[in-house]
Chains A and B, each alone.
Chain A
Amino acid sequence: GQNIDQPTEMTATEGAIVQINCTYQTSGFNGLFWYQQHAGEAPTFLSYNVLDGLEEKGRFSSFLSRSKGYSYLLLKELQMKDSASYLCAVRPGGFKTIFGAGTRLFVKA
């Protein structure tokens, strides 16, 4: 079966750093994605990892370890507007993309 696990909720303080973890068990692997989704809105793309290591993009970084089936999204210098759900998604092969249930991040002042 295909399974993606991430914490349901996290709370962090404005200005801080937060790490959102994702573990996956899929029949194959052809890339891992992170998307941000604000309440009532569509997901927007944040990052893509297909090789092991860290990809940095501004305040957001994403890490992948294929051997461990593990990824994390790191958000630095948190802002109130970062309060959203963060979706981890895997492309196991073919064209399908499998999304996790998402982690709801609450940023408090």
Chain B
Amino acid sequence: DTGVSQDPRHKITKRGQNVTFRCDPISEHNRLYWYRQTLGQGPEFLTYFQNEAQLEKSRLLSDRFSAERPKGSFSTLEIQRTEQGDSAMYLCASIPGQGVSYEQYFGPGTRLTVT
């Protein structure tokens, strides 16, 4: 357990529904990433936050995806009008804000299944 938590751990939804996932990073970590991972692949970068500011977002991400980190603590990732291709593990990772830090601490992930 890295100290990063994600909720829910599993989500099954029907195509076309909206879903929202939550990530709670380690409390002193001010940097946060969201990734998507499918079977047999490495994590794919979705977006990056430093405190509450979203500083980078993948160009691969469609407008159906949005992420927020309103108070620089927890973050949410919303997928609107889900498609079967959105089925994947969604991972959150955080990094300490102090000093030269590069190790990403990953949460356990939310597994999304779109039927």
Contact = CB atoms under 8 A, between A and B. Distances in A.
Whether chain B is bound by chain A comes out as yes
Interface of A: 4, 31, 33, 35, 41-45, 48, 87, 89, 91, 94-102
Nearest to A47: B103
Nearest to B56: A95
A47 to B, nearest CB: 10
A87 B102 contact: no
B102 A42 contact: no
B40 interface: yes
B58 interface: yes
Contacts of B44: 99
A102 B41 contact: yes
Contacts of A96: 45, 48, 56, 58
Per DSSP, chain A at the interface is strand
Given A48-B102, A96-B48, A102 B109 contact: no
Contact of B104 (A94, A97, A101, A102): A97
Contacts of B41: 101-102
B45 A42 contact: no
In this complex, which of A33, A42, A96 has the most chain B Cβ atoms within 10 angstroms of its Cβ?
A42
Given A31-B102, A97-B33, A42 B42 contact: no
Given A45-B103, A102-B42, A94 B91 contact: no
B102 A33 contact: yes
B74 interface: no
B42 A95 contact: no
Nearest to B101: A48
B60 to A, nearest CB: 11
